Structure 1
Amino acid sequence: MSFDRRIKIAPSILSADFADFGREIRAIEEQGADWVHVDVMDGHFVPNLTFGPPAVKAFRPHVSTVMDVHLMIAPVDPYIDAFAEAGADIITAHVEAGPHIHRTLQAIRATGARAGVALNPGTPAEAVAHVLDLVDLVCVMTVNPGFGGQSFLDMTGKIRALRTMIGDRPVHIEVDGGVTPETAPLVARAGADALVAGSAVFKGGSVAKAGVYGENIRAIRQAAELATGQAA
């Protein structure tokens, strides 16, 4: 996975048809998704319950891009190896999920996966200042984690602060929550380059109408690229 700061769209399959994940994943990739975002929730750290390692392992053969696995679970350390073995390319843990985020990130890197750290809306950018050399991605939550379809919370100040802190390190800034063609320019201008979108990608489409996914992905990408001068 080579590093660049071009805008990447990472549809969250939390908004896909749960009875047809394989074809849904292939459809979003064929329609231009850069990454496939998998939201893992435990009903404890967040008020919802979604996927475990067996589900991620089942998704893996259908993902030809990057499988971006976001662990909204606590404790997180006992499950890192299982998600890595299931085929996650990126494993992101929350700084709030345990007392030793440095140790958690070391454990993720030890599996060979790329390491991400996530920040809830109430957590300041400075919480990750001392682990930036251990991460490949910082995920800024722009909703309170736990459910899809929530309204966007403006975290552009936090994103700008992270962008300054990261400097020239090869670290992506990902934004997760409420991303639409209207909000994408705000976070892209602030410095985000990986945009997670669930309902904004899947709304109105289906495996049988996959072209709608493509239209939605292009709308988000174009809005972000225009805002950052990346548009062709």
Structure 2
Amino acid sequence: MKPTIYVGADHAGWEFKEAIEEALKKDGYTVVDMGNEHLVNDDDYPDFGHAVAKRVVTDKHARGIVLCGNAQGICIVANKVKGARAATGFNTEAAKTSRTDDDSNVLCLPGRFLSKKDIATPPVVALVVIDHPEVVDSQVPLIDRTLPLIVVPVVEDEFSRRLVGINVPVGPIGVVDILDGTLFPQTTWFDARAVSSMCTKVKYELHLMVENPLPIIEEWKKNVEQTFRAIVHSEMKRPIGAVVSHILDYLKLEAGVAINPETPLSEMHEVLHQIHQLTIMGVHPGSSGQSFEGDYILKKIMEAHHHRPELQIEIDGGVTQALIPSLANAGATRICAASLLFEDLDPLKALQGLRKTLSTTS
């Protein structure tokens, strides 16, 4: 089913908004015009950017298109609405990658920089990104971003083998599990300089199960340019707020916090509204292949989702195919699958099976 599209524009983008609305309706979309309904030369973009964003965040399958003179002002306004992910699209590729790479749900277009030719022809930029996002690399299977995203941890001496699996058949994100024996007994291999020499498109997310994560994160930031997020454990003795702020403000990376099965959410409430992701462990940190801890993990996922619905919530450890519907229904938006994929003789087939399960759950 095609998503509902909410559109809005001030006088600078009004003419193009009307053309987009007409083209989308011809293509079978339901379009809701949030204004302005008529060309009014002294209207202002905040009213329409806010109205569209508010409607989009109440329906996870909806999308928005907003326009002002240069697209920037209305984009800023839309992003002030909790749950909105507005992005500018000055050309088809920019608009498309805002969906495939950043999961945007509101497209912002510059009315003053669009030509009559753009208005007279179908608005390709809008149409290409609004329906179902694609992964740009044709070697990677399509991912429906409205479903929980499956990511793959790369650990220990299997790093190179798993890296190949991620880079070609599985997906563009690899989670690097880092243990140095300081917070938990196990250790893993995580040589940033060695990884930097590997030719890959994989984006790295660091899951740091260590007592002192910042030096390791800084080493990866320095040597591995694809490093984009660092997740630290709330169980470390260092002040979680200071560590998260350092990751965000100094290292300019996305930040996440992981909690063990027995750790209550209250342990990290001070950073819950700063972080990009909450990782809830379904097992105790260490080796792969452990059994899921139980229903109380599902309750913890539901509690986190209720407290902050727009937060990315990952479940890591103990995932089985049978558990996936319960995890998704509880509010998990990312599923970290190690044993489930790499213990299968055909990881790609296993991944496709997981995605099929997710698609029938939503």
SS at match of 1:164: helix
Corresponding residue of 1:208: none
Listed as ranges, the matches of 1:49-198 within 5 Å are 49-54=187-192, 57-58=195-196, 61-62=199-200, 64-87=201-224, 88-109=227-248, 110-154=250-294, 155-168=297-310, 171-198=311-338
- Once residues 358 and 193 of structure 2 are traced to their aligned partners in structure 1, the CA distance between those partners, rounded to angstroms, is 31
Q: Does 1:226 align with 2:226?
A: no
Unaligned segments of structure 2, at least 5 residues: 1-100, 104-144
Instruction: Work out whether residues 147 and 358 of structure 2, in 8 Å CA contact, stay in contact via their aligned partners in 1.
Output: no
SS at match of 2:158: coil
Instruction: Work out whether residues 156 and 188 of structure 2, in 8 Å CA contact, stay in contact via their aligned partners in 1.
Output: no
- Once residues 164 and 86 of structure 1 are traced to their aligned partners in structure 2, the CA distance between those partners, rounded to angstroms, is 38
State the AA in 2 paired with 1:86: N
Q: Does 1:215 align with 2:354?
A: no
Q: 2:176 aligns with which of 27, 32, 38?
A: 38
Q: 2:155 aligns with which of 6, 10, 14?
A: 14
Give the TM-score, by structure 2 length. Answer: 0.55
The change in CA–CA distance for 1:94 and 1:59 in structure 2 (over 3 A counts) is: farther
Instruction: Considering Cα pairs closer than 8 Å and 6+ residues apart, tell me whether 1 or 2 has the greater RCO.
Output: 1
SS at match of 2:257: strand
Unaligned segments of structure 1, at least 5 residues: 206-211
The change in CA–CA distance for 1:187 and 1:56 in structure 2 (over 3 A counts) is: farther
The change in CA–CA distance for 1:60 and 1:116 in structure 2 (over 3 A counts) is: farther
CA-to-aligned-CA distance 1:100-148 (integer Å, 9 cap, x gap) = 1011101111212110100001111222222122211100000000111
Cα RMSD between the aligned structures? Answer: 2.2
Give the TM-score, by structure 1 length. Answer: 0.84
Corresponding residue of 1:209: none
Size of the aligned set, in residue pairs, is: 216
The change in CA–CA distance for 1:134 and 1:5 in structure 2 (over 3 A counts) is: farther
Instruction: Work out whether residues 173 and 204 of structure 2, in 8 Å CA contact, stay in contact via their aligned partners in 1.
Output: yes
More deviation, 40-49/136-145: 40-49
